[in-house]
Structure formats: C-alpha cells, structure tokens
Amino acid sequence: MVENYKGLGMVIEPRQSVSIWRAGLAPVWAILASMAICAVLIAWAGASVLNAYALLIKGAFGSSFAIKETLTRSIPLIFTGLAVSVAFRAKFYNIGAEGQLYAGALAATFFGTGLITLPPVLMIPLLIITGAIAGGALLIVPVLLKTHLKVDEVVTTLLLNFVVLLLVSYLIEGPWKDPMSLGWPQAASIIDEGVFPLLLEKGRLHLGLIIAILFAILVWLMMRFTVLGYEIRAVGYNAKAAEFAGINVNRTVIITALISGGLAGIAGVSETAGLKGYLTLDLSPGFGYTGIAVAMLAQLNPLAVIPAAIFLSAVYVGSDAMSRAVNIPTYIADVLVGVSVLAVLCSVMFSQYRIRWLK
C-alpha cells in the first residue's frame, strides 16, 4: 500500500488479484490515452481529430498496399522489440538496439556483397547468423562492464549507438562506398543470392516477416519452457535470490545480452537484405528506440511483440499518409511512440494497483 497521497484523500493499494483480461487490456488503455494526448496536438494543428485518426487508420490498413507496407515496416520493430523484451526481462537495460541493428547491417554488407557466394538457402541463413553475431558482439563491452565493473549499461549502450552510426558513415563514405552510387553515400548492393525473396508479387513485403514471427515464437518458447528462460526471468526478478539458488547471474546476463543484441542485429540484416538491398545511413529511422515502445506495449511478452510492432508500424505508416492529407508534421508519430512508453508504464501499474478513495 502506498500512502503517499493520503492528504489528497486516496491511497494506492495492490489489487488482491489481477485478472488476465485486466492485465491484457493495460496496453490498450495506454494506446487510447496516447491517442487522446496526441489529439490535442492534432487539434492544435487545426485538423479534425476524428478525421485525422480516420486518415491514419486508412493510411495504415486502408488498402492491400497499405497493409503490406505496415507489415513490412513492422519487421524490424518485431526484432528490436524482441531484443528489448528479452533484455529488460533480465533487467539488462539495452538501449542500444539502434546500434546493434546497424552492426547487423554492417555484417550483412560485409559478407553479402560478394565476399561469399552461396545458394540462397545457405546465403540467407549465413547473413542472418553473421548479423546476429555482429549485433551481439556490440553488446559484449557494455555487458562485461556491467557484470564485472558495475558500469551502467544504459549509458554505454546509448553511447555506442552514436559510435556505430559514425562508423557506418565512415564506411559508406569511404572504403565501402558503392562506386556506382553516383556520389550518394551508400554501400554496394547485396548479391541476389542473399536478398530476401518477396512474399507477395506486388509490394515490398519480404521473407523477413516470416523469420520475425518465427523468432518471436522461438523466444517465447525459450522464455517459458527452458532452463535458460527460467534463469533469465529469475535474474530479472531477484538477482540475489537467483544467485543464492545457484544461478550464475553474470553468465545469465551475458547470454541475455548476446541474445538481445543478436535479435537487434537480425533487424539490420532484414532491412539491408530484405528491404533496401544496400546499406545507407537512413536504414533505420530509430527502429532501435521504437523497439523499447514495442516491448513495453507487449509487456515484454515475446508473442505480444508481434501485434505491438504492427500497431506502432501502423502509426508510422498511417501518420505519413495523415500528415500529407491534413498538413500535420510527421513527428506526430514519434510523439505518439514516446507518449505510449510513458502511458503503458502507468496503465500496467494501475492494472496491478488501484486507487482507493477514502471517505
């Protein structure tokens, strides 16, 4: 019970039982609250709120092209959302999914632009594995600093994002620059064998979606049924008790970090080899950071990451269409993502606690 606000005539106390639907509904409330807050900005911009949201939904789901686009944009978000949810489960605050995504893209570019040529059935898995290794490798320094020197991982992972982006910038302006790109800073194209095949004839929806869903299921199975998943959860809930029980806490955190970085790295492979075909500096408009919102909306549940990613992807795709139609800055989508992180924190809390008004 929290009696912080007795002066205001209320106490906050835990609910005796949290029903599954109440817990499941928490993100929905958060989304509604975020949309209500953004409605203020939309109204300020002089647009009709209902009309704007109708346009947003239409822009995201209104045509088969829109749906395909929304699903395509959700692919990297599923991967980064999974990366964040695994890490946060162990209370390892990996805010570096953005950098790990680019690390994966770098690996895909390094191996996929002609260094190795294999048939697609081998080439695509090879790119995924190397991307995952690169993404995980980027977390080795932050995680070892955390486990061995107790250096806060939030700051180190954040700072590495900037370092990796500068490295990418250097490579695609320098040694890896595609000579055919007419001065535009981009790397050479992924060879045909490495490009993810399209799922449908029209549009850009590619194999990445299937792989992303597959990984979501794998991660869910791992967290729920395996010894490793148990250890990750135990370390996250109570590291001291986990240590006492004989779980190697440092080892578990390190493995968690590698899995997390690996998943984010695959996002980079998927964007490079699946969507764009080559590495550029605008490969990710902040998918790594949006992954935090995805994971929070999913309440760190790997399966729930899929709908959460599709939702936020719809916000981005839909708001592009909306802002064109009613002249609202596209940053409205980023605002909604930011607000939703805060809103979901609140709504999850109030699914577990309630306010009791005193007579």
Partner 1 sequence: MAAAPILEFRGVTKRFGALTANDNISLSLGQGEVLALLGENGAGKTTLMNILFGHYQADEGEILVDGEALPPGSTQAAISAGIGMVHQHFTLADNLTVLENITVGTESLWSWRQGNQANREKLARMIEDYGLVVDPDALVSTLSVGERQRVEILKALYRDARILILDEPTAVLTPQEADRLFETLKSITAKGLAVIFISHKLHEILAISTKVAVLRRGAIVGTLATKDAKREQLAELMVGRVVTRPKLSAVKRGAPVLEISNLSTSGGGSAALKNVDLVIHANEIVGIAGVAGNGQAVLADTLSGLIGNFSGSVNINGKELAAGDPRSIVASGVGRIPEDRHARGMIGDMEIWENLISEDLRSSDISYGGMVINGDRARERASEQIKEFDVRCEGPEAETKLLSGGNMQKLILSRALSRNPSFILANQPVRGLDEGAIAYVQGRLLEARQAGAAILLISEDLDELMSLTDRIAVIYHGNLSTPEPPEKRSIAEIGLMMAGQSQNNGGELQGVGHGY
Partner 2 sequence: MSDLFEILFTAGFWAATIRIVSPLIFGTLGELICERAGVLNLGIEGIMTVGAMAGWMWVYQGGDLWTGVIFAACVGALFGLLHAIFTVHLCLSQHVTGIGITLFGSSLSYFIYRMLLPDATTPPKIEPFEPLLIPWFSDLPIVGEALFSQTALTYLALLTVPVVWYVLYRTPVGLAVRMSGENPVAVEAQGINVLAVRTGAVMVGSALMAIGGAFITMSWFDAFYFGMINGRGWICVALVIFASWQPGKALLGALLFAGLEAMQVRAQQSAGAIIPYQFFLMLPYIMSIVAMIVMARKTKYPQALLVPFRRGERV
> Does residue 239 interact with partner 2 by CB under 8 A?
no
Stretch of 67-75, 151-159, 232-240, 308-316 contacting partner 2, by CB under 8 A: 151-159
> Does residue 289 interact with partner 2 by CB under 8 A?
yes
> Does residue 339 interact with partner 2 by CB under 8 A?
yes
Closest distance of CB 247 from partner 1, Å: 7
> Does residue 156 interact with partner 2 by CB under 8 A?
yes
Q: Which is nearer to partner 1, 9 or 329 (CB)?
A: 9
Over the window 6 to 35, marking each residue x when it contacts partner 2 by CB under 8 A and - when it does not, the resulting string is x----xx-----------------------
Closest distance of CB 12 from partner 1, Å: 13
Helix (H) or strand (E) holding 77: helix 64-89
For partner 1, which residue of 179, 244, 282, 357 counts as binding (CB under 8 A)? Answer: 244
Would you give the distance in Å from CA 233 to the centre of its chain?
20
Rounded Cα distance between 96 and 159, Å, is 8
Partner from partner 2, partner 1, none binding residue 67, C-beta < 5-8 Å depending on class:
none
> Does residue 98 interact with partner 2 by CB under 8 A?
no
Q: Which is nearer to partner 1, 238 or 327 (CB)?
A: 238
Residues 182-241 binding partner 1 (CB under 8 A) are: 225-228, 230-231, 233-234, 237-238, 240-241
For residue 276, CA distances in Å to 103, 208, 242, 268 come to 16, 12, 44, 11
CA-nearest of 304, 339, 322 to 29 is: 339
Rounded Cα distance between 205 and 6, Å, is 54
Q: Which is nearer to partner 1, 61 or 353 (CB)?
A: 353
Partner from partner 1, partner 2, none binding residue 121, C-beta < 5-8 Å depending on class:
none
Q: Write the DSSP string, 110-129.
A: HHHTTT----HHHHHHHHHH
Closest distance of CB 251 from partner 2, Å: 20
Rounded Cα distance between 85 and 92, Å, is 10
Q: Which long-range contacts (CB under 8 A, 24 or more apart) does 17-25 make?
A: 18/351, 18/352, 22/351, 23/299, 23/348, 23/351, 23/352, 25/351
Rounded-to-10 torsion of CA 109, 111, 117, 122: -100
Partner from partner 1, partner 2, none binding residue 245, C-beta < 5-8 Å depending on class:
partner 1
Closest distance of CB 256 from partner 1, Å: 16
The residue type of 3 is E
Q: How many CB atoms lie within 10 A of CB 39?
A: 15
Closest distance of CB 231 from partner 2, Å: 21
Are 79 and 284 in contact by the 8 Å Cβ rule? The answer is: no
Rounded Cα distance between 138 and 147, Å, is 15
Closest distance of CB 244 from partner 2, Å: 20
Q: Which is nearer to partner 2, 118 or 165 (CB)?
A: 165
Q: Which is nearer to partner 1, 28 or 355 (CB)?
A: 355
Q: Is residue 137 packed enough to be buried (19+ CB in 10 Å), middle (13-18) or exposed (0-12)?
A: middle
> Does residue 327 interact with partner 2 by CB under 8 A?
yes
Q: Is residue 49 packed enough to be buried (19+ CB in 10 Å), middle (13-18) or exposed (0-12)?
A: middle
Residues 3-42 binding partner 1 (CB under 8 A) are: 3, 6-7, 13-14, 16
Q: Which residues bind partner 2 (CB under 8 A)?
A: 1-6, 11-12, 41, 44-45, 88, 93, 95, 141, 145, 149-152, 154-156, 158-163, 166-167, 169-170, 173-174, 289, 292-293, 296, 327-329, 331-332, 334-335, 337-339, 341-342, 345-346, 349
